[in-house]
Amino acid sequence: MSQNNTQKFPRKLVVANWKMHGNLKQNEALLTDFIQNLSTLKYTQVVVCAPYPYLAQLQSMLQHTNIAWGAQNVAKNEFGAFTGEVSAEMLRDFGCSYVIIGHSERSTAYCESDENIAQKFMVAKNHGLTPILCVGETLIEREAGVMEMVVSKQLDTIISTYGAEVFTDAIISYEPIWAIGTGLAATPIQAKSMHQFIRNKISTLNSDAANRLKILYGGSVNRQNAVQLFVVPNIDGGLIGKCSLNAQEFEGICHVAENSVE
């Protein structure tokens, strides 16, 4: 039986995306630190998304803590002859509650289409995993002023195939591609405008789903800029790459999230 230690009423969500980093020893040190220093969080759900081989380690170390865990990708198929793929059911076997879908590092490097991403989103939901759907524009698209159109189109494939209600209790992470790993985060004004746009778009189709959707910001978040970002309306937390590999920095971000809850 899968372990699900997601908190009942988290207001903020902070997700670590370890990408292709770590090893058993480093992970153990990082997780031990997280467990020690994040156990008092009341309003913030922390999630660690690690490479597949370490999911068993996450399960064993986090299962009796307030920290949840997940994967960084999932197969669009349920099972079968798909060499190298990992199914949603397999993620559940290792206690995952969350899965990142459509991260730009994957959609760019492995040519993931919006249709593939939509299928993965639905497979995750059907298996009781919370999908963290990544959307966001390139620098050229932002400079051309078409960022809302781009993000809208990324959402439309899911909406037209499955309906807006699938966003109920799901997570969208707004991740401007120009901000990922560059040290150049979106400003609170830029993030505010896009997060509002996303919430409004879903709300016009299904207000209940919009209310129950969490929208994270991702892209060079650190414990300094998190102070301004996490108080912005419609920013429900962050997806954290680089800074999630540093215990002090990541824990600092989680405490900023906690203190941003009124």
CA 33 to CA 251: how far, in whole Å?
9
- 72 part of the interface to ligand PEP, by CB under 6 A: no
Question: In this structure, are residues 102 and 66 in contact, taking their beta carbons and an 8 Å threshold?
Answer: no
Residues near 248 by beta carbon (within 8 Å), at least 6 away in sequence: none
CA 185 to CA 179: how far, in whole Å?
5
- 221 part of the interface to ligand PEP, by CB under 6 A: yes
- 219 part of the interface to ligand PEP, by CB under 6 A: yes
CA 103 to CA 72: how far, in whole Å?
8
**Catalytic residue flag (residue 165):** no
Residue 239 C-beta: closest distance to ligand PEP, Å: 5
Residue 232 C-beta: closest distance to ligand PEP, Å: 16
Candidates 118, 122, 218, 131; CA nearest to 169 is 131
Ranges within 138-197 binding ligand PEP (CB under 6 A): 175, 180-181
**Catalytic residue flag (residue 21):** no
Q: Which stretch binds ligand PEP (CB under 6 A): 56-64, 121-129, 223-231, 238-246?
A: 238-246
- 16 part of the interface to ligand PEP, by CB under 6 A: no
- 218 part of the interface to ligand PEP, by CB under 6 A: yes
Residues near 186 by beta carbon (within 8 Å), at least 6 away in sequence: 176, 179, 194, 217, 219
CA 23 to CA 51: how far, in whole Å?
10
Residue 189's CB is within 10 A of a number of other CB atoms, namely 10
- 220 part of the interface to ligand PEP, by CB under 6 A: yes
Question: In this structure, are residues 216 and 239 in contact, taking their beta carbons and an 8 Å threshold?
Answer: yes
CA 146 to CA 152: how far, in whole Å?
10
- 240 part of the interface to ligand PEP, by CB under 6 A: yes
Size of the site for ligand PEP (CB under 6 A): 14
- Report the residue number, 61 or 243, with the smaller CB distance to ligand PEP: 243
- 241 part of the interface to ligand PEP, by CB under 6 A: yes
Residue 30 C-beta: closest distance to ligand PEP, Å: 15
**Catalytic residue (one of 105, 175, 249, 258):** 175
Q: Which residues are catalytic?
A: 103, 175
Q: Which residues bind ligand PEP (CB under 6 A)?
A: 17, 19, 175, 180-181, 218-221, 239-243
